[in-house]
Structure 1
Amino acid sequence: MKYGYVALEGLIGAGKTTVARRLAAHFQGRLVLEEFEDNPFLPRFYADPGRYAFSVELSFLAQRYHQLKRTTEQDLFSQCTVADYSLGKSLVFAKVTLPEDEYALFLDLYTIMYGDLPAPELVVYLHLNMDLVRERIRMRGRAYEQDIDVNYLERLQERYLDHLQKLTRSQVLVVDIG
């Protein structure tokens, strides 16, 4: 594989984990999967976003940092590494969910924590239309995801596309899958 570190991105249900598994298997690379189930605030966030936005984003920030730090300590570039998320995911979600003052604090913490971690050489964004996103969320069957507001998903999609245009340390490939 041409790239030593590839990250998949996309909305909820885009197929990031499935594609990451297949790429890692095909290229006999290391697979890094987001540990979202370990975030105790996620179900509460979907039930009451205003109350739990900062908690859920801070928890994800810490989880992703620890996971990627462990990965880099294992020599991230010794082989191909494929992850089902990128470092910038935290910024994308925080920009959508947090008020400006909390986002400013979050950005400071993000900058401190992620400053020494390598960026993916390639970020692959799996782009879906909203009807397909909603169908996939329904099919996954996670109770706390079933009532996600489509406006929230649309704002995430817009923020992702904006974020990807501003990446300077990674090449970007947008794949339209429906």
Structure 2
Amino acid sequence: MKKVPFIAVEGPIGVGKSSLAREIANYYQYRLLNEIVEENPFLGNFYKDIDGWSFQTEMFFLCNRYKQLEDIEKYHLNKNEPVVADYHIFKNQIFAERTLQSKQYEKYKQIYYILTANMPEPNLIIYLKAGLNTLLERISLRGRDIEKNIDPAYLLQLTKDYEQFMGKFINDHPNVPVLTFECDHIDFIKNKADLEAIFSKIDDQLFINN
């Protein structure tokens, strides 16, 4: 049976997820799903005081992403409309485990697994990774007010958490292909050849899956 393409672009803050997802959507004429970020009313306080605002922040993201995926499944995937998202809901586990206290995290996990049971899963993951200097530079360039207080140490730890999580994900989900791109060495916004190289890799996977 032919699979409806559902691509998720993932990676740490500032790596270029939204930009690449938008390019993919335009190139393949897929429905674009953008995660809700700046709409989170707790995020600004979170970057100032992670311990004090982590639970509210993570619960807002979880509930909104759940609703987005529910709508995407109902109105698009079930109607054979391909989708590209600039996130995978698994990222909630990465952030929550890093920021929540142990008792909060245990409660959070219970809610997470209830909400995500039987949710649509991407059949292709694109994992973007980059070093701290690249991430800080790109965060600065996009100029979001709520990101001005991001602690570089937190961002560095987040990149390590992503790397560890993705290694486990690849081992645990052998049937879900993961394309990894080192964004310290490519610029798919300014360099058309870099973007075309990414499209070529995606083409290969779409052909295999279908």
> TM-score under structure 2 normalisation?
0.80
Q: Matched residue of 1:26: which SS?
A: helix
The code of the aligned residue for 1:5 comes to F
Q: From the CA coordinates, give the structure whose radius of gyration is larger.
A: 2
| Residue among 77, 81, 85 paired with 1:83 | 85
Q: CA deviation at 1:90?
A: 0.7
Identical pairs, percent: 37
Partner of 1:98: 100
Query: How many Å separate the matches in 2 of 1:83 and 1:36?
Result: 13
Structure 1 ranges of 4+ moved more than 2 A: none
Please state how far the C-alpha of 1:51 moved relative to its aligned partner.
0.6
Residue 3 of structure 1: how far off its partner (Å): 6.6
- Is residue 177 of structure 2 the alignment partner of residue 175 of structure 1? no
User: How far apart, in 1, do the equivalents of 2:157 and 2:76 lie?
Assistant: 35
**Which residues in structure 2 correspond to 1:1-178 (within 5 Å)?**
4-76=5-77, 78-167=80-169, 168=173, 170-178=176-184
Name the stretch that deviates more: 164-173 or 153-162. 164-173
Q: Aligned equivalents of 1:139 and 1:57: distance in 2? A: 25
Q: Secondary structure of the equivalent of 2:38? A: helix
RMSD of aligned alpha carbons? 1.5
User: Quick one: distance in 2 between partners of 1:89 and 1:79?
Assistant: 24
Amino acid of the residue matched to residue 28 of structure 1? Q
What is the DSSP-based 3-state SS (H/G/I as helix, E as strand, rest coil) of the residue aligned with 2:7?
A: strand
Q: How many residues align?
A: 177
Amino acid at match of 1:26: Y
